[in-house]
């Protein structure tokens, strides 16, 4: 079975749309049995999702997707409604199946998927940044210059000098709107994934898992820069990889999110981060 995988098309950036248009045209021309989009297809405007998905109308195989964190960005709506209902409905109308709603068995291959999320289990404890900064998605250096986060620094003696140099915020903090917190939403995605794996594994030869966030801490890019280190906490969760590793028919894990291409073998699992960036668009072809 020939599988075409891409991720992070980010159709919200008008200046790079011609590159997505060209990629979609090539994918339709090359063809395959299954197409997978692993999240961050658009942001904020659902009509952009439909526009992007219709670029793949000429693809003759099955079309699967999952949402990414940018797909859940909204200033006035409900991110959970986007995740749970609005994106799956929009995808269905465009001929795509949102794997987060249900697995799909194609031939003797099971496809499971979830956006995944983060619960700060990927954070680097050695950075010396207390948990409250991750919960607010604001690094200590940023909080110094934004009065809205000054309360995080009221007690600063628990922050390392290196941690104080981390100066960024994770924009999900501004653009994700729901009544959940990150560990709770992460748990929801892991429970759904576990149920999907249990549902399909008895009847398939092999399982392809699609996530947006990274399942494996081994695939985090490590840099000495504390700002970079702070951002790694939002790349995925330990539980995501642990869930996949508990099921021995999972042989492929594909994802995006960090915009850094990486392909490696981790035990029985061939792990692939597609690695599109905002500017550069690419896809991978897998035989499963
Ligand atoms: Fe992205
Ligand atoms: Fe992302």
CA of 274 to the centre of ligand 1 (A): 11
CA of 127 to the centre of ligand 2 (A): 23
Task: Beginning with the edge strand found earlier in the chain, give each strand of the sheet holding 284-287 in spatial order.
Answer: 97-98, 62-66, 34-38, 2-6, 284-287
**Cα 98 from Cα 113, distance rounded (Å):** 8
Domains and CATH numbers, the chain: 2-287 (3.60.21.10)
In percent, how much of the chain has pLDDT > 90? 99
Q: Is the whole model's pTM more than 0.95, yes or no?
A: yes
Nearest ligand for residue 172 CA: 2
Please enumerate in sequence order all residues whose Cβ is within 8 A of that of 194, keeping only pairs 6 or more positions apart, or say none. Answer: 243, 246
Going by pLDDT thresholds of 50, 70 and 90, the confidence category of residue 219 is: very high
Residues with CB under 5 A from ligand 2 (ion): 40, 68-69, 257
Q: Name beta bridge partners: 272.
A: 254, 263
Please count the other Cβ atoms lying within 10 Å of the Cβ belonging to residue 22: 12
The predicted structure's pLDDT at residue 223 = 96
CA of 288 to the centre of ligand 1 (A): 25
Work out the average pLDDT over 282-288: 98
CA of 152 to the centre of ligand 2 (A): 26
CA of 260 to the centre of ligand 1 (A): 10
Is the CA virtual torsion 248, 210, 183, 136 positive or negative?
A: positive
Residues with CB under 5 A from ligand 1 (ion): 8, 40
Pairing of strands 62-66, 97-98: parallel
The predicted structure's pLDDT at residue 126 = 96
CA of 70 to the centre of ligand 1 (A): 7
Give the dihedral of Cα atoms 190, 113, 201, 284; nearest 10 deg: -140
Please tell me what DSSP assigns to residue 86. Answer: I
Nearest ligand for residue 42 CA: 1
Please count the other Cβ atoms lying within 10 Å of the Cβ belonging to residue 77: 15
Nearest ligand for residue 170 CA: 2
Nearest ligand for residue 259 CA: 1
**Cα 212 from Cα 11, distance rounded (Å):** 16
Nearest ligand for residue 12 CA: 1
The predicted structure's pLDDT at residue 120 = 98
The predicted structure's pLDDT at residue 27 = 98
What are 221-277's pLDDT values in tens digits? 999 999 999 999 999 999 999 999 999 999 999 999 999 999 999 999 999 999 999
Residue 129: closest CA among 214, 231, 213, 221: 231
Asked whether the beta carbons of 126 and 137 are under 8 A apart, the reply is no
Please count the other Cβ atoms lying within 10 Å of the Cβ belonging to residue 283: 20
The predicted structure's pLDDT at residue 230 = 98
What are 37-57's pLDDT values in tens digits? 999 999 999 999 999 999 999
Please classify residue 153 by burial: count the beta carbons closer than 10 Å to its beta carbon, then call 0-12 exposed, 13-18 middle and 19+ buried: middle
**Cα 55 from Cα 129, distance rounded (Å):** 43
The pLDDT mean for the chain works out to 98
């Amino acid at each position: 079975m020939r599988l075409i995988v891409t991720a992070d098309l980010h159709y919200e950036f008008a200046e790079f749309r011609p590159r997505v248009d060209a990629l979609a045209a090539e994918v339709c021309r090359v063809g395959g049995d299954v197409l997978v989009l692993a999240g961050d297809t658009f942001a904020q405007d659902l009509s952009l999702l439909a526009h992007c998905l219709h670029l793949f109308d000429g693809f003759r195989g099955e079309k699967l997707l999952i949402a990414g964190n940018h797909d859940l960005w909204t200033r006035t709506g409900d991110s959970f409604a986007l995740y749970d209902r609005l994106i799956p409905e929009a995808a269905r109308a465009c001929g795509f199946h949102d794997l987060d709603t249900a697995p799909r068995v194609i031939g003797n291959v099971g496809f499971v998927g979830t956006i995944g999320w983060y619960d700060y289990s990927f954070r680097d404890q050695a950075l010396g940044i207390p948990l409250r900064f991750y919960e607010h998605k604001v690094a200590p250096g940023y909080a110094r210059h934004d009065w809205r986060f000054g309360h995080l620094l009221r007690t600063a003696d628990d922050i390392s000098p290196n941690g104080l140099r981390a100066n960024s915020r994770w924009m999900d903090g501004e653009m994700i709107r729901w009544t959940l917190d990150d560990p709770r939403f992460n748990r929801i995605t892991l429970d759904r994934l576990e149920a999907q794996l249990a549902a399909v594994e008895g009847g398939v030869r092999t399982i392809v898992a699609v996530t947006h966030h990274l399942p494996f801490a081994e695939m985090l890019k490590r840099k000495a820069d504390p700002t970079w280190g702070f951002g790694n906490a939002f790349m995925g969760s330990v539980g995501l990889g642990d869930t996949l590793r508990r099921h021995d028919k999972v042989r492929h894990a594909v994802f995006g999110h960090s915009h850094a291409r990486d392909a490696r073998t981790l035990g029985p699992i061939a792990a692939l981060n597609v690695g599109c960036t905002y500017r550069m668009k690419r896809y991978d072809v897998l035989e499963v």
